[in-house]
Structure 1
Amino acid sequence: MRESGKRSARDKIEEVLTRLAERANDERVFLKLYPDATRLAADAADARRRVGISLGPLDGRIVSIKDLFDVGGETTTAGSAALAVAPPAVRDATVVARLRRAGAVIVGKTNMTEFAFSGIGLNRHFGTPGNAADPTRVAGGSSSGAGVSVAEDTSDIAIGSDTGGSVRIPAALNGVVGFKPTHGRVPLAGVFPLSSTLDSIGPLARTVADCALADAIMAGEEPAEIAPFPLSGLRIGIPRGRLFGDMDAAVGEGFERSLRALEAAGARVADHSIDDLLAEMREATRAASIASVEAAEVHADLMATQAWSLVDPRIGGPIARRAAVPAHAYIRLLRRRSALAAVMDERLMPVDVLALPTTPVVAPAIQPLLEDNDLYDRTDGLLLRNPQVANQFDLTAISLPMPGINLPAGLMLFARNGHDHHLLSVAAAVEELFRRAL
């Protein structure tokens, strides 16, 4: 069925549901599907369009949500079998309710790292989603299923969470766009937490425009078309140093090729060091990260039950150990982080954005990570190293696919706290440049 030259919402969702049904015996991207509800939502969107009514640019678009968003009447498991018997949610998470009101067709909940506590994307309970470009490789975490669902076109937009890169890592490794807004821009009500200080809710999509659309709706704003920022004169800082170590040759070459294209378009590219601030943050978090201490508080009650034995030791062990961090150390850590974030904000004033590879490597193979705990820990640290800077220093950030690379990799842009619209405008211009020039 076609309406006004476009496929109907019902046609699109039927195509997706058919594809998912064909792999139902080995489904690892989605943990839950809503076939009946999605058909009804799609039919409603089509009926509105036939009579010239629209709820906005998201009306009839297919959206997936990560398994840590509440849906009224069902248990939120956050990627863990340990939460299977938790009470059902009373109502939808705020962002889910806003997406529904905007006409989104919510197809299902996507797989994730257990409790969102890793950047790799493995899940011992529900299986590990394979990377969209090579299923023998990881999808990245913690929003693993979200990244794959967009890249494989089983959702137009996926909603994830980002505490240390959990939107941007899977976006980069699967070749899509992932946006982390400023912390607090999007409400966290009804979202299973990892870290109340660092958690942000962000979209993954195939374009910057779709990310901006979903972000605006979730933030309670009126969606508006992005005006690309002029590349001529754009000030781009490159934080060379610690964040450029241990890099795959293909990622490094793709990054330098991207910079040359930006310079050819008139952007002013210059080194802009932040290594001193990174060193101070590293020292402040040497004993424990903010996310791990806050995760220990989130799971304190669960740790006292038998259900905790179901948690993957790679996830549960580090969380449990942080329960011993004293309150005074945690409070001092928060104060130190606030002070360093203020210095970082001042450091970024002379530039429009910082640019760096989202991850220094392409997606690693799954099997070696399942077999080697030391390799798992090193890989997790490497994948998180660059993107977590935005969370630690309270910035906004986006990952764009770098063109011309066999396996996907991302170009990441950082901007100052609260400069979300500016960052999206810059990203839209860079995206268009990549389409034309590379």
Structure 2
Amino acid sequence: MSFAPATPLTQLAADLDAGRTTSRALVEAALDRIAAEGNHGGHAFVSVDAERARGEADAQDALRRAGVKLSPLAGVPVSIKDLFDVAGERTRAGSRVFDGVAPATQDAEAVARLRRAGAVPLGRTNMSEFAFSGLGVNPWYGTPRSPWRDGASGEARVAGGSSSGAAMSVAFGMAAAGLGSDTGGSLRIPAAFCGLTGFKPTARRVPTAGAFPLSTTLDSIGAIAPGVACCAMVDRVLAGLPVDTPGLPGDTAAGLRLAVLTNYVTEGMDARVSEAWETALGRLARAGVQLTPLRLPLLDTLPSINRFGFSPIEAYATHRGHLPGHADRYDPRVLARIRIGETALAADYLDLIAARAAATAQAHAALDGFDGFLMPTVPIVPPAIAALEADAAHFAATNALVLRNPSTVNFLDGCAVSLPCTPRDSAPVGLSVCGLGGRDARLLRVATAIEAVLQAA
């Protein structure tokens, strides 16, 4: 038996356990879909290692026949974002700058943990160069697309970034889940743009060893998958926690106390996002969720606090040795953002660290009594690829807009889940359920309850 795009991991695990399918059959179905899209799955992948995937699938099937199941992920095909080391492969991070780099000698820790759990990596997924964009446009490997096309124009729309290929791989059934990273929304934006679920854990929850950095302060590692239980299953593997059962116990929605942010993150919503946002809030209220509108003045100060930002400063530190001889090999849109960090002083960086600590303390004081807080993941529906590729100014403005909301969670050292809140055949819109740092397990239970309400509508 094959699997449909966006099949829950719990269902795949049950089918494997019952003998209704095999790991090899799941891998072959994924490879067939990659081939059907052409160009490495319609630019979803930068490389696919079909033979290695088949071999690992066969090994998992043999273990299962012998009565050994490593975890609920055992035998499940997954995709790996191009910034993670995979033994024997080059880590290019969506760029051409590192074409000549030596292959990695070992897997990144996140990849190694997935393998130990029995997951089967299919290949490396496309991404914004060096993870430095929320749109997923890539001039070297092509631009992955959302499964949604506006019926009025039929134009291809971005999958979102930076984990663009990860989202497209799951949305098109080319993988059951996608391993990605999130520095300012790179899991949640593509999840929102592709009608999927994305979980950004607290940054320190999953080891980043072997993952090419964007911001060593803000980088976090998680998954894009069909639902909250799927993201939670992958998260427990990545965090080194036991995964005893494929399910996720959730709270009931009635009685949950959620803050609804009313400033900064709600500005500039287009009509479709605004309608979906209000509709989702109405459904939650009718389900007994206690929604409290909350204005957080600290959010309005974020643009001035981040006049440099951690990502440009820390990315410049990473890339400064490559820029003198290879600047012409960078995507100019990415290079411009890296160059922002070149002019920052040590004093600016220390000021930024202090401002973040103060803002995080204010957020804790304002939000500590709530079970979580809500915001639109992105204030717009997926924009057209062609216009972004053709106009640098339009790209820069749109990129800033899509990063605005999710990046607040990273800056405040929190965790968040983006849930789809529109029907699968309509323009995709994400609703973010957010929590304070370190409260990941609680957040996932809350998100499970909210997901049930949104899906029941």
TM-based fold match above 0.5: yes
Aligned equivalent of 2:10: none
1:304 to partner: Cα distance: 2.1
Aligned equivalent of 1:319: 338
1:5 to partner: Cα distance: 4.4
The CA distance in 2 between the partners of 1:320 and 1:82, in whole Å, is 16
The correspondence for 2:126, drawn from 89, 111, 114, is: 111
1:211–1:25 Cα change, 3 Å: closer
Aligned equivalent of 2:152: none
Matched, 1:359 2:378: yes
The correspondence for 2:27, drawn from 5, 9, 13, is: 13
1:73 to partner: Cα distance: 2.1
What amino acid is aligned across from residue 391 of structure 1 in structure 2? N
1:281 to partner: Cα distance: 2.7
1:83 counterpart SS class:
coil
| TM-score, structure 2 as length reference | 0.92
1:435 to partner: Cα distance: 2.0
Matched, 1:239 2:261: yes
Tell me the alpha carbon deviations over residues 31-56 of structure 1, each in whole angstroms, 9 at most, x when there is no partner.
11111111111111111222322001
Matched positions, count: 434
Matched, 1:163 2:183: yes
1:242 counterpart SS class:
coil
The CA distance in 1 between the partners of 2:37 and 2:202, in whole Å, is 37
Matched, 1:93 2:112: no
Aligned equivalent of 2:6: none
Summarize the alignment of residues 340-379 of structure 1 with structure 2, pairs less than 5 Å apart.
Answer: 340-379=359-398
The CA distance in 2 between the partners of 1:15 and 1:321, in whole Å, is 44
What amino acid is aligned across from residue 363 of structure 1 in structure 2? P
The correspondence for 2:287, drawn from 254, 265, 270, is: 265
| TM-score, structure 1 as length reference | 0.96
The CA distance in 1 between the partners of 2:428 and 2:301, in whole Å, is 32
Tell me the alpha carbon deviations over residues 3-39 of structure 1, each in whole angstroms, 9 at most, x when there is no partner.
7342111111112112222333464000111111111
In the alignment, is the contact (CA less than 8 A) between 1:281 and 1:337 conserved in 2? no
1:318 to partner: Cα distance: 2.2
The CA distance in 2 between the partners of 1:181 and 1:321, in whole Å, is 27
Aligned equivalent of 1:66: 81
The CA distance in 1 between the partners of 2:132 and 2:176, in whole Å, is 25
Aligned equivalent of 2:306: 285
Aligned equivalent of 1:227: 249
Tell me the alpha carbon deviations over residues 259-279 of structure 1, each in whole angstroms, 9 at most, x when there is no partner.
1111111110110111x1112
The correspondence for 2:68, drawn from 25, 28, 53, is: 53
1:89 to partner: Cα distance: 1.5
Matched, 1:23 2:42: no
Summarize the alignment of residues 284-303 of structure 1 with structure 2, pairs less than 5 Å apart.
Answer: 284-286=305-307, 288-303=308-323
Deviates more, 1:192-201 or 1:41-50: 41-50
The CA distance in 2 between the partners of 1:433 and 1:239, in whole Å, is 20
The CA distance in 2 between the partners of 1:396 and 1:174, in whole Å, is 20
In the alignment, is the contact (CA less than 8 A) between 1:345 and 1:417 conserved in 2? no
Aligned equivalent of 1:308: 327
The CA distance in 2 between the partners of 1:260 and 1:25, in whole Å, is 42
2:186 counterpart SS class:
coil
Moved over 3 A (4+): 1-5, 22-27
Aligned equivalent of 2:275: 253
The correspondence for 1:398, drawn from 409, 417, 420, is: 417
What stretches of structure 2 of length at least 5 have no aligned partner? 2-14, 150-154
The CA distance in 2 between the partners of 1:241 and 1:281, in whole Å, is 12
Aligned equivalent of 1:218: 238
1:304 counterpart SS class:
helix
The CA distance in 2 between the partners of 1:234 and 1:197, in whole Å, is 31
Report percent identity of matched pairs. Answer: 42
In the alignment, is the contact (CA less than 8 A) between 1:296 and 1:320 conserved in 2? yes
In the alignment, is the contact (CA less than 8 A) between 2:196 and 2:227 conserved in 1? yes
The CA distance in 1 between the partners of 2:141 and 2:437, in whole Å, is 36
What stretches of structure 1 of length at least 5 have no aligned partner? none
The CA distance in 2 between the partners of 1:285 and 1:7, in whole Å, is 50
Aligned equivalent of 1:37: 52
